[in-house]
Amino acid sequence: MSVSPPVAERELLSSEQIERTLRRIAHEIVEKHDDLSWLALVGIHTRGVPLARRLHDLIAEFTGHSVATGELDASFHRDDVTAGNGRGPSDRRTRLDFPIDGKSVVLVDDVLYTGRTIRAAVEALFDHGRPRRVQLAVLVDRGHRELPIRPDYVGKNLPTARSERVNVHLREVDDADRVVLRHTEGE
């Protein structure tokens, strides 16, 4: 029987801090879009979806305008799906109940790391039409990019070591709102 190495965990954002951060991001999105009728928020599965819905609700609260909101499964476009890592495409669905042609689409995700998920999401998005522009909103940018991808809206920049993990917990998925940094001894 092997013993797992101890895990050190530190909370980076509390529920209240996540709420404040999302309010700020929603204000920034509104400020950069003069005509909200052309704006669409698209959450990347899994935790980007509830974040996009929360941003939708905040923008509606601030402006009285309900912007188009959808969900995107980028797993079929991942470059590591068949890389022998045991990961296969998911059964999650893409839901875009509006045309994206000519829209300003803000992709929403929880953590930006290497950029590979975002690359896959852009490819998946273009399977559904041709937006006027695509922007990116993330709750946490942890660095270590492998592709030339940069977010337009960032909740928290967090330089990390590769041995660390940033875990986002959202009440819609995990029954709690918090962001934690995990480091396993010996990794």
Tell me the pLDDT tens digit for each residue of 143-169: 999 999 999 999 999 999 999 999 999
Q: What percentage of the chain exceeds 70 in pLDDT?
A: 88
Q: What is the pLDDT of residue 175?
A: 96
Residue ranges per structural domain of the chain? 13-80+91-163
pTM of the model: 0.90
Q: With contact defined as beta carbons under 8 Å apart, do 42 and 103 qualify? A: no
Where does the pLDDT of residue 24 fall: very low under 50, low under 70, confident under 90, or very high at 90 and above?
very high
**3-class secondary-structure state, position 72:** strand
Mean of the pLDDT values across residues 22-50?
A: 97
Q: How far apart are CA 19 and CA 13, in angstroms?
A: 10
If phi > 0 it is left, if psi is from -120 to 50 it is alpha, else beta; for residue 113 that is alpha
Q: What is the pLDDT of residue 165?
A: 95
Q: What is the pLDDT of residue 84?
A: 39
67 Cβ contact partners less than 8 Å away, ≥ 6 residues apart: 36, 39, 40, 41, 56, 59, 60
Under CATH, to which class is 13-80+91-163 assigned? Answer: alpha beta
Asked if pLDDT for residue 83 goes beyond 60, the answer is no
For 104-116, how does the pLDDT look when each residue is reduced to its tens digit (9 = 90+)? 999 999 999 999 9
